[in-house]
Amino acid sequence: MSDKKHDLEEVITEDVSRAMREDVGSGDLTALLIPDSAHGHACVIARKEGVIAGIEWFERCFDELDPDCEIFWHTGDGKHVAAGVQFCEISGSARALLTAERAALNFLQTLSAVATKTRLFVDAVAGTQARIFDTRKTLPGLRRAQKYAVQVGGGYNHRIGLFDGILIKENHIVAAGGVKAALQAASALVQHQAPRDTMIEIEVETLEQLREALDCGATLILLDNMSPAQMADAVSIVAASGWQGVELEASGGVTLQSVRAIAETGVQRISVGGLTKDVKALDLSMRFSMH
């Protein structure tokens, strides 16, 4: 059985190692201007308010260069910080602090941006039964990290990649020969090749396709680019069908302005690619001083 904590530690190690190789390469030439024995102190300040995420990635960047550095947090992942607040202090080798600064902030700013945006969507649908999900529209190489940040922000993860879930989209339906044929093939795949708990979801673009998917026993159905009125009709169709355990997922062009109306149609899931795709880094800065 997979150990999620161990899996996350592996992800952090890989992410940070890749980032440090990319930024530091054969060595930080500018840091050589500072005596090797020099000790420094730094603090991180939020220039804009937001939800913090990515603390372990941030810490690992400094630990890679100075295992003896000390980091003290006035906050934690999932916590809101106000603009102008100093929320982290670091003490250690001056060279290490200056060399790791950019990679560490890149992780913290990006993941905090994802968590902050996710929290906005989660708050927008509060009081409804809808849950906010991410997608595979992530920054290359940072998928696991961004999906972690979505969870920190109160959202839920869709499949990690193509390997751990079946999502039958329009082109798959055409290639397979229709909704029924595609669902039958997916069921056979899970019976004989994929793990038995593999997710099977099918995308529909019309209410007619929805009825066909229900008749074929689909229990997770993605409503692609439907209007709120069509989604409400879809919810009614599912309720009238008598099928138990069917979940509907709204997807396509979901914005912070439209998400509440979508949630109020009665769908159980709303997937938002913009949580991880269209993010603007949370404005954070690190101030350094010598001891």
Of 102, 180, 260, 277, the active-site residue reads 102
Residue 203 a catalytic site member:
yes
- CATH number of the structural domain 4-122+279-290: 3.90.1170.20
Let me know: does 52 contact 75? Beta carbons within 8 Å: yes
To the question of pTM greater than 0.75 for the whole model, the response is: yes
Of 224, 233, 264, 283, the active-site residue reads 224
Within the chain, all domains assigned CATH 3.20.20.70 are found at 127-277
- Specify the pLDDT at position 1: 41
Residue 49 a catalytic site member:
no
Of 137, 180, 211, 277, the active-site residue reads 137
Residue 272, strand partner residues = none
| Alpha helices (H) along 135-277 | 143-152, 170-176, 179-192, 207-215, 228-241, 259-263, 274-277
Q: Which two three-digit tokens encode residue 143?
A: 């998928």
Residue 23 a catalytic site member:
no
- CATH number of the structural domain 127-277: 3.20.20.70
Residue 224 a catalytic site member:
yes
Within the chain, all domains assigned CATH 3.90.1170.20 are found at 4-122+279-290
- Specify the pLDDT at position 242: 85
Let me know: does 80 contact 37? Beta carbons within 8 Å: no
In the chain, the amino acid numbered 242 is: G
Q: Which residues contact 107 (CB under 8 A, 6 or more apart)?
A: 15, 16, 19, 54, 57, 58, 61, 145
- Specify the pLDDT at position 243: 83
Query: Residue length, the chain?
Result: 291
Residue 102 a catalytic site member:
yes
Please list the pLDDT of the chain residue by residue as tens digits (291 residues): 456 767 999 999 999 999 999 999 999 999 999 999 999 999 999 999 999 999 999 999 999 999 999 999 999 999 999 999 999 999 999 999 999 999 999 999 999 999 999 999 999 999 999 999 999 999 999 999 999 999 999 999 999 999 999 999 999 999 999 999 999 999 999 998 878 889 999 999 999 999 999 999 999 999 999 999 999 999 999 999 888 899 999 999 999 999 999 999 999 999 999 999 999 999 999 999 987
- Specify the pLDDT at position 2: 53
Of 48, 79, 136, 169, the active-site residue reads 169
Of 143, 203, 249, 269, the active-site residue reads 203
